[in-house]
Amino acid sequence: MSGAGKSIALSVLEDCGFYSVDNLPATLLLEVAQFLGDAGHDRVAVSVDARSAALASLPGHIETLKARGLECRVLFLEATSPVLLRRFSETRRRHPLAGAGLTLTQAIESERALLAGVSGLGHRIDTSHLQPKALRNWIKDQLGLGGGALAITFESFAFKDGIPLDADWLVDARMLPNPHYVAELRALTGRDAPVIAFLDGQEIVQRFLEDLRGFLARWLPEVARDNRSSLTLAVGCTGGRHRSVYLAERLAQAFRPGWRVLVRHRGLANQDAAGTSA
């Protein structure tokens, strides 16, 4: 239903990595799905509304997509007529079916009649009393998107160079044992095996790392549910070469299986400043 939250739904899916197509005529669904699949898009979100040509063909097209082996899920967004009337009145937007002598109320009821044949194709969401944030969360939950939409950057830095401006959360690792004071480790970094072995063997480092893992495991899902698309956790030590690098890499390793993860090491001038992703 127009005014029920289609734009919000598409924006959520786009933020989650879907290629989004708005107001596609139902007659083009099969061709567009084939074209985008051939182009390498494995997650596509398509909106079809009452203005679509040959809307009655939509159920058959969806069955065809499923027969081709594609996972095809349908969300039908609706709201009560009084709520839709209020939304259009508040935003002063024109209903897509208004005109030709139809009042806003008549346009809403006409659209409801046109969509009667497709409303039962999938999961129905009544947005009448949902705030936009709640609707975003409901869509994520329904499609099992969860935290996958959140990109987490683990960034190491040197306090002597200043705190990075892009940090959302800041961790100070300067109280941990410093490999800089071990002669054979000084020239290495937290990505080198000898430094990793040294820090792996420090009980206080492992306790600190475990606390960080537990904190992130508890709170990252809440950040994702708040519809954040990215979060940067910056880990700092004195020189930005050993402890912070080690911790950023270990945290990235721990959370890579369930999240989109980036790693950046600001203090390693001779390394790729863009970091790595997974």
- At residue 273, the pLDDT reads 37
**pLDDT-above-70 percentage for the chain:** 94
Cα 234 to Cα 165: distance, rounded to the nearest angstrom: 10
**Interval 179-210: pLDDT, tens:** 999 999 999 999 999 999 999 999 999 999 99
Instruction: Judge whether residue 99 has pLDDT over 90.
Output: no
Same domain for 10 and 140?
yes
Q: Check whether residue 189 and residue 140 sit in a common domain.
A: no
Per the model's pLDDT, the better-predicted residue between 108 and 53 turns out to be 108
- Residue 271: predicted pLDDT: 47
Based on the fold, state whether residues 134 and 156 are members of the same structural domain.
no
Domain boundary among 95, 119, 144: 144
- Tens-place pLDDT, residues 214-263: 999 999 998 888 777 788 999 999 999 999 999 999 999 999 988 989 89
Identify whether 105 is part of a domain: yes
Domain edge (last residue) among 113, 144, 175: 144
pLDDT score recorded for residue 148: 53
Q: Is pLDDT above 50 for 275?
A: no
Half-sphere exposure of 216 (CA within 13 A, CB side): 30
**Structural domain that includes position 250:** 148-277
- Tens-place pLDDT, residues 77-97: 999 999 999 999 898 888 988
Q: Is 158 exposed, middle or buried (0-12, 13-18, 19+ CB in 10 A)?
A: middle
Q: Would 1 be classed as within a structural domain?
A: no
* Shared domain check, 196 and 184: yes
Q: What is the pLDDT of residues 27-53, one digit of tens each?
A: 899 999 999 999 999 999 999 888 776
Of 230, 223, 217, the residue nearest 257 (C-alpha): 217
Domain count, the chain: 2
> Do 131 and 165 fall into the same domain?
no
